[in-house]
Amino acid sequence: MAASAQAVSEVSERLLASKPGVETALNLGFREISCEYITEYGCYGVLYEHVKTGAQLMSLICDDENKTFGVVLRTPPANSTGIPHILEHSVLCGSKKYPIKEPFVELLKGSMQTFLNAFTYPDRTCYPVASTNVADFYNLVDVYLDAVFFPNCVNDKSTFEQEGWHVELDDAAKPEDAIYKGVVYNEMKGVYSNPDSVLGRDLQQAVYPDNTYGVDSGGDPKEILNLTFEEFQDFHAKFYHPTNARFWFYGDDDPTKRLEILSEALATFDKRTDIESKVAQQKLWTDGPKQLRKKYAAGSDEGPDGSKSYVAMQWLLNDDKLDLDTELALGFLDHLMLGTVSAPLRKKLLDSKLGEALTASGIEDELMQPGFSVGLKGVKAENMDKVEPLVMEELRRLASEGFDEKSVEASMNTIEFALRENNTGRFPRGLSLMLRSMTSWLYDRDPFTPLRFEEPLQKLKARIDAGEDVWRPLIQKYLLDNSHKVTLFLEPDMDLAKQTEEEEKERVKSEMTKLSSDELAKVKENTELLKKKQETPDSPEALKCVPSLSVADIEKEAKKLPIDIRTDGLPEGAKIITHDIFTNDIVYAEILLPLRGVPKDLIPLVPLFSRCIFNVGTSDESLLELQQRIGSKTGGISASVFTSDVKGEEEAASYLMVRGKCTKSQAPDLFAIAKDALFKCKVDDADRITQMVLESKAGYESSIVAAGHRFASSRLHAMENTEAGWLGDSMGGLGGLFYNRELAKSLTDGGDEAFAEVSAKLEQIRQAILGSHGAIVNMTGDAALLSEVTPLAEDVLASLPANGAPSCDWAERTPLEAGNELLTVPTQVNYVAKAINLYKGGYDLHGASYVVSKQLNVTWLWDRVRVSGGAYGGFCDFDTHSGLLTYASYRDPNLLKTIDIYDGTPGHLAGEEVMEMDAESLDKAVVGTIGDIDSYQLPDSKGYSSLMRYLLKVNDEKRQLRRDEILSTSKEDFPKFGEAIKQAHEKVGGYVVAVCSADAAKKAKEERPELNFNIKSIM
């Protein structure tokens, strides 16, 4: 993965030549502070100060086409009213130069953006964008700069009410029906319904009681209601100024143009000396560790025994930011203690059987002062006091005995591989570097330091090679001898959710009873005015202020990815698929084994078997030895299950998939590890497998509260009774949750006999999938690299039994009865989904459907479900493989109203707003759709995408046809798609599944008996 010195020199000289000269920069108002070549990422970084305002700019010049811009402001809150969070939402709702309702949404509609969002941290607010198209990139930058510094929201209370909070009252004669609404308000109600989020918040606030980290920048729902518009305005005036800003550019765009853009944007500002935004330090306390007991809202099955309690500890490691050498060493220590399933602190906690799974654990180094946390969830009441002593006992053991050499070697390879690969997935690399740089720059330190890992890494290696005792002193100093520690006991409270809901109702009722009839009429009028504004679209003329590309700027040819499929010389039915893509000498490989031989009653156990492969050890190696080999000899390897509908076919694509990556020299080890684990993983390890089942159960139960829309959508897919729907539900949806609960109970109560049955079934699954017929090895790398590693793939296929298990008949599975369901959990918000199968209604796929569904997401559903309805999210997804159109909402205060909005979609698509869409708006819709299809990908993702297209039988001819149809989409295609939805609904019906509270379910069933809701208590 390392480049030659000569190549580095040539690149650095070429990049340096494009850097603006010192005089040029000064003429544009920027003083160059420092300039460094960052070898680790192949880019030149130039740090500037804007002379007139004092703003700082990091300009990174490199060859990456995925250009990134960001502006970051220090925004430390003084309370938990959520001002930074509400402001983050609000500034993107119109500005001086772009005076429409939501320029942000217009960019979502018609940009080729590869990233467009904003983040609120405990002490900062970030506004980043990215694009591979330079004209589009500059458009994004201009809109964001104007939004941040000249937003309309500071003079428009309705935006504050929409994004923050307001009282909604539809009938002045019924003040008791008033409710609180607001996008952030409902988002945070969802966050506060999730015990994992509650745990993290309570720990942070307890560990940092004396500075800004002791309050919630996202907002406590109860405190949000105390925020006034005047305070909101003051916060923007105080912190949203260039003097308090850090600007970031990264990519292959013109470095001089960057200065010109900022020079113009900042021209009307002067330096301010009155901004106090520095984060105050939290002093380390010396009066001993502290303990805290809190409650969270729990469901009825989380019972009086406290079997769902959380126990977690968090330390504040230092009273200042750590130096990079110590920070890197602590990162390695974190990985050594917790980073793998065999890591000693993780293993000690899980082996103890005191809880079901770890809480979010490890080093937190994004804030000014680093912390370390560790804990367990799913702890019974009688075990709560045992967790902390166990953690301290293991830390003392590690401080005494240290770590063995092989574990250190494995951690070193794992972390070094990740640093050098710099694989940020779909996240732009420039944005990843920006966020990393901010961990120093935000606190008035060197922004280059976090980007330079080579020197501290080599120093750390040298210390280890010299035999220095690196790890034990770190444990002793930062954990054992550190009294700044909080232990939090978070216990379930079955009455808390209802109590919180009643308090909210009582609060708004009390507020309304104090008002006169005239004042109530004013609240009603305000509700009507806000809704009217929210639901009235900007005129086509007004929307033209937001710059966008035109269809003429879009490439007409669909992007093709290299693929070669080989069967000759391989076992019958086996394939090797390769993708000739430059990967800098990294091999990306997948081994796919068909699931078709697994009997239907064993399908719910397949995810457990996939976890066993690399997480229980083998007949030749202990779990620790296997994990050490994986860590030291690969860049990572894992196993999972892949299933999908295939358009026009009854049979689903269904595979167990092993995915791994390594350097060229490590390839023999990667494939050897995969073979050993597949053939020899110990499916008879009762303790470890029971532990994994409990972890999975805890994961399911956390997920359905935090992301109920995914479970609701999966349930609707299962009601289609296709293979893919059934497989998805059985192995990852509600069916999987129920199965894991029963399995956990059986294994914990049933003893050896129950486990023996499970073990035998896991072995049966192994025998069912280990066959060469239908097996695929997929590899991504350049031609020379592929030629070297192909024999290893051949060997894997040759090692598989030729006479694998015969295909099973899954058609005899028990069908899931379709119907409207309400799944109840302890939550303050709803997740509402509805699905209709358009193919069953007679719809023939046309590329225009991509444009229409995209447009629905950024107009109708955005405006009605999110903006007017107050949900954090509302969207639809048209699965072109299954034909299923699925609507879903996220952290939604409504349930029945949201269903009505879904049902109103055909009318909207045939309505005035759509039919009056002008050519420019249609262009935007097409451009945005192509932007989604042509999304930026790193080399490994390209190889994987090419594999997916092959498995799902989406060839280049079909892709080109869809692209042609997208590019030729007309206004008339919108009502056509609406008619297809209407016809499908009339012919085959549509069903609703919502995740909500028991009270919300009861109310919905009473109000709409014709929907015949079936209420299921989940938690």
Nearest CA to 187 out of 303, 82, 65 is that of: 82
Burial class (CB in 10 A: 0-12, 13-18, 19+), 957: exposed
Is the separation of the CB atoms in 1002 and 1015 below 8 Å?
yes
Q: Are 114 and 936 in contact (CB under 8 A)?
A: yes
* 88 noted as active-site residue: yes
Exposed, middle or buried, 826 (CB in 10 Å: 0-12/13-18/19+)? buried
Choose among 35, 68, 113: nearest CA to 430.
Answer: 68
Known active-site residue 555: no
Q: Region of 378 please: left (phi>0), alpha (psi -120 to 50) or beta.
A: left
CA distance 278 to 955: 55
User: Rounded to an integer, what distance in angstroms lies between the CA atom of residue 779 and that of residue 785?
Assistant: 10
> How far is it, in rounded angstroms, from Cα 909 to Cα 849?
12
Instruction: Report the Cα 652 to chain-centroid distance in Å.
Output: 27
In this structure, the dihedral spanned by the alpha carbons of residues 990, 993, 994 and 1000, taken in order and rounded to 10 degrees, is 80
DSSP state of 39: G
Cβ–Cβ < 8 Å for 81, 223: yes
Output the CA angle 688-692-696, nearest 5 degrees. 175
Residue of 760, 703, 762 whose CA lies nearest to 732: 703
The three-class DSSP label of residue 586 is strand
Report d(CA 615, CA 608) in Å as an integer.
10
Q: How far apart are CA 120 and CA 101, in angstroms?
A: 21
The type of residue at 901 is I
Active-site choice (102, 106, 161, 163): 163
Do residues 441 and 368 lie in contact, with contact meaning Cβ atoms separated by under 8 Å? no
DSSP secondary structure string, 287-351?
S--EEEEEEEE--GGG-TT-TTEEEEEEEE--SSPPPHHHHHHHHHHHHHHHSSTT-HHHHHHHH
Q: Name the strand (E) or helix (H) holding 873.
A: strand 873-879
Q: How far is CA 836 from the centre of its chain?
A: 27
Question: Which strands form 776-781's sheet, in the order they lie side by side?
Answer: 564-566, 575-580, 776-781, 586-594, 653-663, 637-644
Q: In 871-910, which positions are buried (b, 16+ CB within 10 angstroms) versus exposed (e)? A: bbbbbbebbbbbbbbbbbbbbbbbbbbbbebbbebbebbb
Contact 218, 82 (CB under 8 A): yes
- Residue tagged 């969002």 (tokens): 117
Residues 538/101, Cβ–Cβ less than 8 Å = yes
In sequence order, the β-bridge partners of residue 779 are: 578, 589
Please tell me which residue in 32, 88, 621, 720 is annotated as part of the active site: 88
Task: Report the catalytic residues.
Answer: 88, 163
